[in-house]
Structure 1
Amino acid sequence: MWHLASVVSVFEPVYGLAAMKRSNKLLKGNTKVAMTLVISYLLICMAIGIVFRSAVIQGGKDHGVLFRLLVGALLIVVVVIVNFIGLLVQCVMYCVCRGYHRKNINKVTLHDHLGSYLGEYVPLASSVEWEM
């Protein structure tokens, strides 16, 4: 429920407990799917953590420094990808839940709401020069 509450806070002008209540209403009928997705995400993160601990942190006796650095860097990339996919799944789940309850997404309002996060581009007043 708290995962979807963060998506609700992004897409709708509700925050905190109101977002938690809103996400609970949206999940009605889709709770098992949401729980499966959250548990899958947590299991993947736990597996990455176990591999990181065994290969990078505790693997000093069995493997060299170069191997540990490469495995650590690879696992960091994997964690970033998993987090991006998790955020994408949350957004898709939000849209599916909205459609399940026959509530359309007002794209103009959504654009205005998300556009406020972008702000306006302000160019630098002067160029920065590096001195050596």
Structure 2
Amino acid sequence: MADTMQFDLVSPERRLASFGVTEVQIPGADGDMTVMADHASTITSLRPGVLTATGPEGTRQYLVTGGFAEISPNGTSVLAERAILREDVTQADIDGMVADATAARDAAGPDATDAAAKTLADIIAMGGEIGITAS
């Protein structure tokens, strides 16, 4: 069996996860990455996407809308702007995230329009990945 490491996921509302995993797939702002035990220490920002934690007890998926991941050889801590367990996500959640991202894109100045449009596209893709399309 593969080595395990500690995985913690927190959002401003609550702690969503704290358990041992063999790997965590992270939607990083600079590209997706898979973290396993003994990974080099890294800090990365998150983009909206599906975070997958796999361990001895199975696989759990979470939708995250941004934040940071702190990776060390012994574990991974994710501080998410917003995180929801995949099976708890509703159509209203996706529609709300799309509405918020659309408003942010529309309010963005000329220097931030591309980043805001990418965030909106990432949220729409995230919903599609779990089978919920924006209304």
TM-score when normalising by structure 2? 0.22
Task: Tell me which protein shows more helix as a share of its residues.
Answer: 1
Higher relative contact order (CA 8 A, sep 6+): 1
Task: Tell me which protein shows more strand as a share of its residues.
Answer: 2
Larger Rg: 1
TM-score when normalising by structure 1? 0.23
